[in-house]
Each structure stands twice: as C-alpha cells, then as structure tokens.
C-alpha cells in the first residue's frame, strides 16, 4: 500500500511494508511533519530480522570487549559471563564452514534451521546429522538465481533442555515498547504470557520432525488436533511466576526475571548503535524468550509486528489493554503528538504507564549515577553505567520494578 504521509493523520499504526515505503528515500514522499508519529523505526529490521539481531549482538559484545568493558568478561570456557544470552548461531550458507567445525566438536547436539526473514514457524526444521545440512545445501543450489537469490537461513544451537511445565515446552512472549533508541527509553509490559506446545516434550532424536513438540508459535500449535481453544495454550506471566516461585523458590525466580530484563536492555543497546532513532517513531516489539531447566533465559527472537489477533477471551482483553496502554504513552491525553516534545510530558506517571513499567531510561540512568559511583566504575575498567532508577545495576543485584 502506498501512503502519502502528507495526508491528514497524526498517528499511524502501519504495517512494516508501509513503513518501508514511507521511509524509502527513493519514494517521492514528503517528509513527516512534527505532528505525525508512526509505529516502526525505519530500519527496525536490525533488531527484528533473525540474522541481523544476532549480528548486532555479536558486534556489541565484541566492541565492549575491545573497550575492556567488564560487561564483556568471559569465563574459563570462553563464554561471555553476562552477555551469553543468544544460542550459538551461524548464518547460512555464509558461515557453513564455521558451523561444520562446531558441529564436529559436538556431533550429538541438535540444531534448528530458520529462514532469517520469515515468521510463524514457517520453513523451520531441526537437524542432528551433517548429512541433513548437506542435503539442504544441495537442494538449495538448484533454486537461486540473480533474480531470486538464495534465502538466508540462521542455524542455532537448539535449546534441548527447555524448562517444562506439565511436560510441555513453552516460551515467553513479552511486549517491549521503545519510544527512543538514542537515548534509549524502553518499557516492559506486565501482561506477557507463556505459549505452550500441545504435545509433551520428549528429548528423543527420533522426534525431531514433530514440530508440535518443538515450536511454541501459536499460529503453528493451532493446527494441532490437541489445541485447546479455551485457554489457547497460553498462561499469564503472573501465573507462571507463581508456579516458578512455588517450584523453584522466590530467589531464583526473581533472578530469572531480572535476567530477562537484562537481556532486553542489552539487545536494545546492541541495536541502538545501528537503528535510526527517528523522532517520529515508536515501536512495540514482541520478545520471544525460552527458559532452560537451569532457569537460564535465552533470547530467541524479536518480532516487529507481534500478533494482535486474539485466540481466547483473555487474549482479547489483554491485547485491547496493550494497544490502549501504548496509545496512552505515545499520544498522552489523546493530544496531537508533537515530536519536538516527544512523549516527554507525562510518560512516566502511573496513570499514563498503565501496565507498562519503564525498563530503562538512558537519560535517567546516567543522571542518577553520582560522580563517585561513576568514577569507581570507570576505575574498575570503564564499565558502561547501566543503572536502574533505584541506583542498582539492572538485572544483577535487585529485581527490576517491571516485574513487581
Ligand atoms: N534455539 C532454539 N532452541 C529451542 N527452540 C527454539 C530455538 N529457536 C526457535 N525455537 C522454537 O521455535 C519457535 C519459532 O522460532 P522463531 O520465533 O525464531 O521463528 P518464527 O517463525 O519467526 O516465529 P514467530 O512467529 O514468533 O515470529 C520458537 O517460538 C521456539 O519455540
């Protein structure tokens, strides 16, 4: 759809395709006015395409490491101590040799192949033999041409020890609103949920073709004959949290949710270096997180257009609230937006935040670090000040307010 941004609108909830067209410099669109806000950043795909997200997080870690930043410290096995939150991932076919080396070192591990730019579980498959990837490589060779180049895939280490509830695998769908990347300001929604598989998880090598066991996407699970349309295979974060506190204890549960906040903030910081922080833009991302049975969270993917369709009555209420709460933050009081004072007036008061909590506000984080703390941190190796409003480093020592 082509849209003339000069039309009479102030707030646009657009598809990613429309946004691409609006920000495409070769299109003949007039510039957006100061009174127009839109729901995607121009190059959001730096975070929301699977391959680019991984590339940017890897670059972010490398840069911190080069700066001698303590955040990029590694353990004795060479893994990042604090920033090891994405499964080992390679681009295919570009990184084929690197992947092959890794595969040979640990030939019993299962890997998951995913087309970089698709969604809803489409085109995903699991492999645990080198012959399977060779076959994929051979089959693809006949297809690509200059006009239709080969689709990029990512291949990631499969998290084969997911935390199970009732014997089933699940992941978390969390909503994160970003109103600015530079400085970074982001909000976390309290009403996320767990999305469960319909079939019990059996970590057997024979079962790698049954995607009802392995993929938690609702769009996929809906096709299963075991799909329950009353609860839709979803469980609220509050209930999940209660369950985890009951089974694993409060301390470990708090730490898990702190680590999830940590992952979100650092993935956004990684993207902030390359995303155009256009002041007309805000974006609500759908974060997909898998928790393993050691209660370690892993970032699987960030979606630019998380589904707003509802599968159950509760879902409909939650999504209604989500849209309402986003609107209250980005268009406070229903006033005409003005990007010169973008979302600045009231966007942190509880009435405006609704079910959102400010997760990270770079402006505030920097201001609230007093000189002494800052100098001490610098002296300890130039650590980037990533400090919550309470003065505590995010995710490491105190439960962030977003989950209370
Ligand atoms: N490394 C992994 N380890 C274990 N499970 C994974 C891994 N990567 C993906 N999955 C499973 O596969 C599902 C689909 O993966 P992913 O979200 O990356 O693809 P998608 O098709 O883009 O889905 P979406 O519709 O959420 O955009 C995840 O929800 C998760 O259940």
Q: Where are the domains of the chain?
A: 88-130+149-158, 164-205+215-363
The yes/no answer to whether this complex scores an ipTM above 0.90 is yes
The pLDDT score that the predictor gives to residue 393 is: 44
Lowest mean pLDDT among 237-241, 308-312, 348-352: 348-352
Q: What would the two tokens of residue 331 be?
A: 């268009």
Nearest to 380 by CA among 372, 370, 388, 389: 372
Pocket test for ligand 1, best of 86, 113, 121 (most atoms within 8 A of CB): 121
Mean pLDDT over 373-400 rounds to 44
- Compute, in angstroms, the gap from residue 216 CA to the centroid of ligand 1: 7
Two tokens, residue 95: 């990184």
Question: Cα dist. 310→114, 122, 142, 192, 233 in Å?
Answer: 25, 20, 40, 13, 12
What are 37's two structure tokens? 């806000």
Instruction: Give the Cα separation of 206 and 204 in Å (integer).
Output: 5
For position 210, what pLDDT does the model report?
Answer: 79
Query: pLDDT tens, 85-111?
Result: 999 999 998 999 999 999 999 998 999
Which class is domain 88-130+149-158? alpha beta
Q: Are 180 and 141 in contact (CB under 8 A)?
A: no
∠ CA 365-369-373, nearest 5°, is 140
| pLDDT of the residue at 352 | 82
Weakest-pLDDT range from 102-106, 274-278, 376-380: 376-380
Indicate if the pLDDT at residue 403 is higher than 80.
no
Residues enclosing ligand 1, CB less than 6 A? 50, 87, 112, 114, 118-122, 124, 156, 158-159, 171, 215-217, 288, 290, 300-301, 303
Q: Candidates 124, 218, 286: which one to mutate for ligand 1, based on the most atoms within 8 Å of Cβ?
A: 124
Instruction: Tell me what percent of the residues of the chain surpass a pLDDT of 70.
Output: 82
Instruction: Evaluate whether the domain defined by 164-205+215-363 bears CATH number 3.40.630.30.
Output: no
Q: How far apart are CA 66 and CA 149, in angstroms?
A: 35
Beta bridge mates, 281: 38
C-alpha atoms less than 13 angstroms from C-alpha of 275 in its C-beta half-sphere? 33
pLDDT band at 198 (very low <50, low <70, confident <90, very high): confident
Place of tokens 């209370």: 404
Measuring CA to CA, how many Å separate 299 from each of 27, 84, 221, 286, 366?
A: 35, 10, 20, 11, 26
* Predicted pLDDT at 396: 39
Q: 152, 116 in Cβ contact below 8 A?
A: yes
């Amino acid at each position: 759809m082509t849209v003339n941004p000069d039309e009479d609108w102030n707030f646009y909830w657009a598809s990613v395709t429309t946004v691409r067209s609006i920000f495409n410099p070769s299109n003949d669109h007039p510039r957006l006015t100061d009174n127009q806000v839109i729901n995607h950043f121009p190059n959001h795909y730096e975070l929301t395409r699977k391959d680019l997200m991984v590339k940017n997080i890897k670059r972010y870690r490398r840069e911190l490491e080069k700066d001698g930043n303590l955040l990029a410290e590694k353990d004795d096995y060479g893994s990042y101590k604090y920033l090891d939150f994405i499964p080992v991932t390679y681009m295919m076919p570009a990184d084929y040799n690197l992947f092959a080396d890794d595969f040979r070192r640990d030939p019993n591990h299962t890997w998951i192949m995913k087309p970089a730019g698709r969604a809803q579980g489409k085109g995903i498959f699991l492999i645990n033999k080198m012959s399977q990837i060779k076959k994929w490589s051979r089959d693809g060779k006949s297809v690509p041409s200059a006009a239709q180049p080969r689709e990029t895939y990512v291949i990631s280490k499969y998290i084969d020890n997911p935390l199970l509830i009732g014997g089933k695998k699940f992941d978390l769908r969390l909503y994160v609103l970003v109103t600015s990347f530079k400085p970074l300001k982001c909000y976390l929604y309290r009403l996320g949920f767990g999305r469960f598989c319909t079939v019990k998880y059996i970590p057997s090598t024979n079962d790698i073709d049954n995607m009802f066991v392995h993929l938690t996407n609702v769009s996929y699970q809906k096709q299963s004959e075991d799909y329950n349309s009353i609860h839709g295979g979803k469980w609220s974060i509050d209930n999940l949290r209660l369950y985890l506190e009951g089974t694993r204890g409060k301390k470990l549960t708090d730490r898990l949710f702190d680590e999830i906040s940590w992952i979100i903030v650092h993935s956004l910081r990684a993207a902030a270096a390359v995303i155009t922080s256009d002041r007309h833009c805000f974006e609500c991302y759908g974060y997909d997180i898998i928790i393993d049975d050691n209660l370690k969270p892993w970032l699987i993917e960030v979606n630019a257009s998380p589904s707003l369709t509802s599968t159950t009555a509760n879902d409909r209420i939650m999504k209604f609230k989500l849209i309402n709460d986003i609107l209250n933050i980005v268009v406070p009081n229903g006033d005409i937006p003005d990007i010169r004072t973008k979302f600045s007036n009231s966007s942190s008061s509880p009435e405006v935040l609704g079910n959102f909590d400010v997760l990270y506000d770079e402006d505030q984080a920097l201001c609230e670090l007093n000189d002494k703390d800052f100098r001490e941190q610098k002296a300890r190796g130039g650590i980037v000040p990533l400090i919550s409003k309470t003065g505590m480093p995010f995710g490491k020592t105190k439960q962030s307010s977003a989950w209370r």
